[in-house]
């Protein structure tokens, strides 16, 4: 027997085919729209290789704004003049003479530094009370490790004072006591080499 087709099946197949065709058409349309949007976005943002510089230049030109020049009013208030003279330049007096700046006090430096083998002695204070410490210090280049003995000038000659100090790194410092009032003169001496320092004067009392 031959197959008998059911006439009710054909109407149900056509909507399915139409739906598939419609989906394909929609997909193509959406894809085309997305491609156009991507192309336009690339042009606007300047992502293209050759047009990058021109797009950036156009953006910079568009962002620049020059205001329109406007004429301003002249100042009516008092003008301020700044003092621009050199403070080191001499000032002119009313008589037309030039006043020279006064010399600033300068600190005098020792004329010569002690040479090798010379002892330089100095006191911290030139006036002390009776029984107060007399601090002294000095420099003895080349006298590393030497022992210096203190001497005081008494009765017209130098006499040994019961004190001594050692030299470290070319320098020395110590202190002594004395109850003798008046001007006392001290010095130090290296007995091994016979080197004698300069004398210092300290007023006691």
Q: Find the angle CA(145)-CA(148)-CA(149) to the nearest 5 degrees.
A: 150
- CATH number at 181 reads 2.60.40.1930
* Among candidate residues 121, 110, 113, 115, the one with its CA nearest the CA of residue 187: 121
Average pLDDT for the chain: 75
Q: Which two structure tokens, joined as six digits, stand for 137? A: 């210090």
Expressed as residue numbers, the domain containing 50 is 13-63
Relative to beta strand 200-204, strand 127-128 is parallel
Quick count: other Cβ atoms within 10 Å of Cβ 172? Answer: 23
Query: From the centroid of its chain, how far is CA 204?
Result: 49
**Is 76 a member of any domain?**
no
- Rounded distance between C-alpha atoms, residue 119 and residue 139, angstroms: 6
Residue 59 CA to residue 61 CA, distance in Å, equals 5
**In the chain, how many domains are there?**
2
**Range with the lowest mean pLDDT among 27-36, 122-131, 182-191?**
27-36
Same domain, residue pair 55 and 126: no
Q: Are the C-beta atoms of residues 32 and 40 closer than 8 Å to each other?
A: no
Q: What is the DSSP string of 124-184?
A: S-SEE-TT--EEEEEE-TT-TT-EEEEEEEETTEEEEEEEEEE-BTTEEEEEE-----EEE
- Which of 22, 38, 63 is a domain's end point? 63
Residue with tokens 């110590």: 174
Domain contains 126: yes
Specify if 72 maps to a domain: no
Whether 141 is in a domain gets the answer yes
- pLDDT, one tens digit per residue, over 78-135 is 555 445 555 555 555 555 444 544 544 444 444 455 666 799 999 999 999 998 999 9
DSSP class of 49: S
Highest mean pLDDT among 6-10, 94-98, 181-185: 181-185
Q: Is residue 29 part of a domain?
A: yes
Q: Is residue 149 part of a domain?
A: yes
Q: How far is CA 26 from the centre of its chain?
A: 72
Domain annotation covers residue 33: yes
> Is residue 173 assigned to a domain?
yes
Q: Which pTM was predicted?
A: 0.46
Dist. CA 144–CA 171, nearest whole Å:
8
Model pLDDT, residue 16: 74
């Amino acid at each position: 027997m031959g197959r008998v087709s059911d006439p009710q099946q054909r109407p149900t197949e056509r909507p399915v085919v139409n739906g598939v065709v419609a989906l394909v058409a929609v997909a193509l349309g959406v894809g085309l729209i997305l491609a156009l949007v991507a192309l336009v976005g690339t042009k606007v943002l300047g992502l293209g290789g050759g047009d990058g510089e021109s797009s950036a230049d156009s953006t910079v030109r568009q962002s620049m704004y020059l205001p329109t020049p406007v004429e301003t009013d002249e100042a009516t208030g008092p003008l301020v003049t700044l003092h621009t003279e050199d403070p080191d330049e001499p000032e002119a007096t009313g008589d037309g003479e030039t006043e020279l700046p006064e010399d600033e006090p300068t600190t005098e430096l020792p004329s010569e530094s002690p040479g090798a083998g010379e002892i330089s002695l100095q006191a911290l204070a030139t006036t002390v009370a009776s029984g107060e410490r007399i601090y002294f210090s000095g420099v003895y280049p080349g006298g590393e490790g030497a022992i210096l003995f203190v001497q005081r000038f008494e009765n017209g000659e130098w006499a040994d004072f019961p004190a001594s100090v050692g030299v470290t790194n070319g320098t020395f410092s110590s202190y002594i006591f004395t109850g003798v009032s008046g001007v006392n003169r001290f010095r130090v001496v290296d007995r091994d080499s016979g080197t004698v320092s300069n004398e210092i004067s300290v007023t006691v009392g």
